[in-house]
Amino acid sequence: MVATATPLVAGTRDALRAALERELLAEIPLARAMQLAIDAWDGESLAITAPLAPNINDKGCAFGGSLAAVMTLAGWALVRLAVDADGLAADIYVQDSTIRYHAPVWGDFRAEARLDAGDAFDGFLAALRQRGKARLGVEVVVAGAGGTATTLVARFVALAHPEPSTAGGDAAQSQAPSAA
């Protein structure tokens, strides 16, 4: 199976991407300090960029922790936007991940996330709707001067928000004392 693009028009996709970027920068202090930007999202892949200056280490290249954070957020954002685009409400968590550092990154960097081969958003979203939970594999790559610099392979889990119940509110109102 291959990833299926979320059937959205570009304007809607751009609005969802921009809203999530604002949320990341407002709610996650590390994302703000790292000066992250969601550079692109086409429904099948997502790219987050970060400048070197706030993410530099003592050797003058990108700090490994910054690379790990950007790649994890890229994978998380890819899954989150698929859930948002489908109109679902869920919390997304990284379940496990493996990072490999192949070469230093000497400049501004871009983490590109896409689904693992064999995973698809259609099955993931169907499972989330039917069972209230689903998981999905994601691969993220940061390129360096001579090719791939860093990779992350991760599994993300989505847990649907419970449906709000109005029955409790109605019962409480019917048991309220009258004003007589």
User: Is 90 exceeded by the pLDDT of residue 164?
Assistant: no
CA distance 137 to 69: 17
The whole model's pTM is what? Answer: 0.85
Residue 112, domain member (yes or no): yes
pLDDT at 171: 40
Tens digit of each residue's pLDDT (9 = 90 or more) over 13-70: 999 999 999 999 999 999 999 999 999 999 999 999 999 999 999 999 999 999 999 9
Number of domains in the chain: 1
Residue 169, domain member (yes or no): no
User: Is 90 exceeded by the pLDDT of residue 169?
Assistant: no
Q: Residue range 67-94: average pLDDT?
A: 97
Residue 154, domain member (yes or no): yes
pLDDT at 146: 86
Q: Find the Cα–Cα–Cα–Cα dihedral 77, 81, 82, 84, rounded to 10°.
A: 140
Residue 86, domain member (yes or no): yes
Map the chain to HEC letters: CCCCCCCCCHHHHHHHHHHHHHHHHHHCHHHHHHCCEEEEECCCEEEEEECCHHHECCCCCECHHHHHHHHHHHHHHHHHHHHHHCCCCEEEEEEEEEEEECCCCCCCEEEEEEECCCCCHHHHHHHHHHHCEEEEEEEEEEEECCEEEEEEEEEEEEEECCCCCCHHHHHHHHHCCCCC
Which tokens in the block code for residue 40?
């692109």
Residue 142, domain member (yes or no): yes
Tens digit of each residue's pLDDT (9 = 90 or more) over 139-150: 999 999 889 999
Compute how many other C-beta atoms are within 10 angstroms of the C-beta atom of residue 153: 16
What is the extent of the structural domain holding 74?
Answer: 10-161
CA distance 51 to 96: 26
Residue 111, domain member (yes or no): yes
CATH number at 71 reads: 3.10.129.10
pLDDT at 170: 43
pLDDT at 145: 86
CA distance 115 to 119: 6
User: Is 60 exceeded by the pLDDT of residue 6?
Assistant: no
Tens digit of each residue's pLDDT (9 = 90 or more) over 124-163: 999 999 999 999 999 999 999 889 999 999 999 999 998 7
Residue 174, domain member (yes or no): no
Q: Are 172 and 166 in contact (CB under 8 A)?
A: no
pLDDT at 162: 83
Q: Bigger pLDDT: 140 or 176? A: 140
User: Is 50 exceeded by the pLDDT of residue 90?
Assistant: yes
Q: What are phi and psi of 80, to 5 degrees?
A: -60, -45
Residue 141, domain member (yes or no): yes
In percent, the amount of the chain with pLDDT more than 70 equals 85
Q: What are phi and psi of 23, to 5 degrees?
A: -65, -45
pLDDT at 163: 73
Q: Which residue has the tokens 């896409």?
A: 114
